[in-house]
Structures are given as C-alpha cells and as structure tokens.
Structure 1
C-alpha cells in the first residue's frame, strides 16, 4: 500500500485544472453512450465519457507526418474535413470480485457517471480501479469537483513504472513546461485514496479475469488489460493505439502525446500484429463508439472492423 506521505512528498496539491490541453476539455455527447460486451461469463461495458474536437488534426498532432499526409489518411477513411473527434471511453468489467473500472475518464463533466447509470452500473459498486497510465484524461475522474474521492468504495491499482515516474520529484524537475503540470495533477487525483493504492507489475492479475500487459511508450509505465474467461478474450489497450484512421493505417506515425515515440511505435506494431493474427477483440479509449472491434491487415497497415 502507499500512504499519504508518499503521495504528497513530491509537492503540494495542484490546482483544479484536469491538466488537459484546452481542446481536449470538451464534453460533447457521443452516441451510443455505452456498449456491452460478453467475454465468456464476464461482462465488459464500454461507457463513453464525452468527446472533444481538435479543430485541425493536420497541424501538430501527428509529429512525423506532413499535414497533407494526415489529410489524405482522413480522406481514405471516408472523413470529410480535418477535425479530430476524440472520444473518451472507460471500460468496466463485472467480475466475481465486483465491478472493476479500467481508467476513470476526464472528470471534466458528469458524462461518465450519467452514462454508467444509463448502462445499469452504479458508481458506488466500483470496488477496484486499475489504471493504464496517468495522463489527465484517464485519471481526472478519480475525484469530484470538491476534491473528494468520486469512487469512495474503490481500491486503486497502478502500474508500478507509471507510479514511479509521476511521483518522482527529479522527473518533475526535468520535465518540459507542457508536461510538468501532469505530476502535480497525478498527486492531487490520487490523494483521496491514500492507503488504498497498490502498484502492480506487467503480467499481474489485477482482478479475476483481468491481467496487465506491458504496452509502454505512450507513457513510461503504460499497460493494457487482457480480459479473459475460458477461450474468450478482450484487450483493453488504453492509449497504446489511438485514432484508428491515423495510427492503425500508419502504425509508424506517432501523436504528440507519445512520450517515448520509438518505444510507442514498436509497441503499436507488436499489438496490431498480435490482434490481427490472433483475432482478439479490442477496446480503444479513443476509438469512435462502440469503441470495439477486430483488427485486420490492410496493405502496409491495419484497419479496425468495428462491432
């Protein structure tokens, strides 16, 4: 377990900002707002936490592609215009041990709580929250507007590499100005759960039927979660792969938010090959709802067959 001293040693609490880029703080509705997936005897539910729009994703979003290439990728996917609709999709799994949340959304709007209830899920039922990583749109929902725990009955499990990085004052001092607020934001979001936080290593089982798989690169300790029961499987990939029209079709591209681009691209290629070869259904945090489907090879890249 991790205590309050560990949480607060790296500095004081952050301001109320969820440490998201201005364009990413939207809360637009996305339909359908939830989607149930059977995984053997387990039931996963993907719940939307709203969406934001980046007005022109050809500018500054894909670091190693020219604007014309990004625009061409959108056209190839049948999209008109260059705006990027960026949904936030939280996966919850009903397990024998109770309801488990894999990330908790932005916390910027009531959308997650509203859509959970619409899906028949009571936020008070959440007994465990397991995180893929600590970027603001994945941990913002840990606290309510008054700073209290939004899921007071939940224990928290965190990737050990992710915790080590974001709680390190040395890493914070070396971070770029754009990235530095994320350190204080992480401390603030986890503070109400003092004494209830447990780190885990890749490969660990975080709950019955849910195990962690290393998928580093987007962030230092990023993990994905394999939900499995019998022969049924579902891979919840967090941000290891985002925006299928861009980063499945062109797995060598990387977005500005990938913290270690070389590792992120290698991880993305490995996951896409595995998903296409083994035909494992996938859930993407930033995929268009229903945010799930199967990956298949398409030319030199891949594509998502939603459903």
Structure 2
C-alpha cells in the first residue's frame, strides 16, 4: 500500500537528507576528488531467453563517498568490512544505472529510462547504447516505469522538454503516480524533498492522456508481462516479470536492492533511499527467496554490468552471479 499521511510525515525528515544529498532529485552529483567510475565497453549486452531478447543498456554510473548515512542500520566499519571481503573499494560506492529493453512478440519494451541529460558527465549514455545495439528511440513502443526516483524517469524527457521516446506508451504504477502527483503531500514535504515531487511533474506533466497508462501492481500488463508489487523503496515500487515460453522467467528487480554487494549479501540492511525501510526489507527477503528457489534470470537497475544474472544463497543473504 502507499504510505499513509502519518507515515509520510514521520519519515520525511529522514528522507529529506537523502534528497538534499542529490540522491532522489533530478541530478546526481559527481565527486571528482574520488575519480570517475570505469564504464563498460561496449555498454550493452544481449541475452536470449526463449522467445525473448533481453538487452541490458548501461546508462553510466556515479561515484559517491561511502559515509555513515548510506546504510542506515549498520555501522560503517561493518559495511566497509563486507566490501573488503569481496575485494571492493571501501571509501566510495560506484552506483551503475542499467535500463533494459525486452523484445517480445514484436514489441520493444524499455524498462526505466535512466538519467537522460540531467545527470553528470559519466551518465546519460542510454540513447548511445540503444543505437549501438541497433535500435533508435523511436523504435521503443512501450516504457514500463518501476518508480519515480529521478534516475528511473528523467530519461523520458529531454531537459528542453521534448519526449525522448515519441512513439511509446508510458506505463506507471498507480500507487506511485498517486503519491508523487499528490499536491497535498508535496505541500507537506520538507523543502529538500520537494524536488522529487516537482520532478515528477516536470517529467509527466503534459503527457497526452492516451500515452499514459496507470496500472495496479500485480496485474498482467501485456501478454506474458506481469507486474509485481514490491513496496517499500517507494510507495508504489514495482517489479516486472517476463515469460519467455521456457521454464525460467526474467524478473526485473528495479531497486529491490541498490547495491547487491551490500543489500543482497545483507538483505536486512537499509539503504538511505528506502522510504519504508521495514517494508523494503521484507519484500527484499521474499523476492530473493523466490528467484533463488525458482532459478529465474534477474536484472537489477543498480547491479554491476551486465546487471543480468542469477541470485544464489550466500551465508545469511544472497550473491549476484552475472551471466
């Protein structure tokens, strides 16, 4: 369910810090003192699953210092220890952004849209990757949106206001749309958090009604394409499952876990961006258990490229194994 007004007011103070840090507003600040992340080359990867063709398209990455605020319920020394155990840097985090295109039954379905031209110099690569993979923006006929954080919706519209995917219908979760487009909630939000509400209006304002499809998570959207409610990260955070006509399926995990080396290995840890940390924790456990037991292929927006692979049990948590 969507956050109640009481939950919203209670959690706004905590979330305001995340918004102020640039995590949920239209841009991602790049800390050049830490150097730049290395981007994959090529920045796209194809994978066949039954009658589906799945394209992982890297939109770039952002590097941010690792501080106490990033994991809300674990001390920084434990966070660094887990990263060190995996041979990863301990003073910064690289956050990749990877939308997917699924070609199914003649449809070209984009899942989330990246940062567009509103991010830093190491982001906004989606259109170039799409072209490298042999597609144009006009070839996309459907865009599925998992939630309204800026790194997932800003690529729908250029900074100048023009639509990036002119022939696409945009499918959005009704609870997510209802939350971010609610004027009363925007009015009640702290100043640092208002950017998220304003950005949703910038992106979706003026979208012709016939191009906007609001759906209830849990419903089938298109033949072989089903939505799955995964509330917690945001009030309407939604995953998407694709049936390729074979035993395994492709499940897009969106922001179920932001960084798998942390929040899959320790699923009870809460990233600072989760709006309802306990709900996010519960659904993370449930979905990981499902994909491990059923052996499905998964894709994660913030997973290391190619951001496509499988989850396996590891200790008290899970590990991502790329294909």
Moved more, 293-302 or 105-114: 105-114
Is 1:248 matched up with 2:264?
A: yes
Residue 130 of structure 2 corresponds to residue 116 of structure 1: yes
Q: Deviations over 1:71-124 (max 9, x none)?
A: 011011111332111110001111224211111001135411001111112111
Are 2:302 and 1:258 equivalent residues in the alignment?
Answer: no
SS at match of 1:178: helix
Check conservation: 2:83, 2:262, Cα contact below 8 A. yes
2:57 to 30, 35, 47: 47
Following TM superposition, by how much is the alpha carbon of 1:24 offset from its aligned partner in structure 2, in angstroms? 8.8
Structure 1 residue 21: Cα displacement: 4.3
Which residue of the other structure, out of 6, 26, 30, is the alignment partner of 1:19? 26
Give the 5 Å matches for 1:134-145.
134-145=148-159
Contiguous gaps of at least 5 residues in structure 1: 1-16
- Give the TM-score normalised by structure 1: 0.89
Is the Cα–Cα contact under 8 Å of residues 90 and 103 in structure 1 kept in the other structure?
A: yes
CA, structure 1 residues 145+192, in 2 after alignment: closer, same or farther (shift >3 Å)? Answer: same
**CA root-mean-square deviation:** 1.9
Name the CA distance, whole Å, in 2 between partners of 1:219 and 1:257. 9
Which residue does 2:292 correspond to in 1?
A: 276
Output the CA distance in 2 between the equivalents of 1:90 and 1:48: 7
Distance 1:28 1:193, change over 3 A: farther
Q: How does 1:138-177 map to 2 (within 5 A)?
A: 138-177=152-191
Any idea what SS the aligned residue of 2:59 has? strand
Q: Secondary structure at the match of 2:70?
A: coil
Match of residue 39, structure 2, among 29, 38, 41: 29
**Cα distance, 1:163 vs. partner?**
0.5
Instruction: Give the Å deviation of 1:159.
Output: 0.2
Shift of 1:271: 0.9
> Kindly tell me: are residues 76 and 31 of structure 1, through their superposed partners in 2, closer, same or farther at Cα, counting changes over 3 Å?
farther
Hey, what does 1:6 align to over in structure 2?
none
Does residue 207 in structure 1 map to residue 222 in structure 2?
Answer: yes
* TM-score normalised to structure 2 length: 0.85
1:125-149 per-residue CA deviation (whole Å, 9 max, x = no partner) reads 0111110000000000011131111
Contact conserved, 1:30 with 1:51, CA < 8 A, in 2? no
| Distance in 2, Cα, partners of 1:78 & 1:95 | 38
**C-alpha contact 1:102 1:129 (8 A) present in aligned 2:** yes
> Is 1:102–2:111 an aligned residue pair?
yes
For the 8 Å contact 1:159–1:201, the answer to whether it is kept is yes
Residues 135 and 182 in structure 1, CA contact (< 8 A), matched pair in contact too: yes
> Residue 180 of structure 1: SS of its match in structure 2?
helix
Q: How much does 1:192 deviate? A: 4.2
1:180-191 matched pairs, under 5 angstroms: 180-191=194-205
Report 1:50-129 matches (<5 A).
Answer: 50-55=60-65, 57-107=66-116, 108=119, 110-129=124-143
CA distance in 2, matches of 1:40, 1:191: 38
Q: Distance in 1 between matches of 2:130 and 2:242?
A: 19
Asked whether 1:222 is paired with 2:223, we answer: no
Gaps of 5+ in 2: 1-23
How far does residue 23 in structure 1 lie from its aligned partner after superposition? 4.1
Aligned counterparts of 1:135 and 1:159: Cα–Cα separation in 2: 13
User: CA-to-partner distance for each residue in 1:154-188, whole Å, 9 max, x for gaps?
Assistant: 11110010011001011112223332211110111
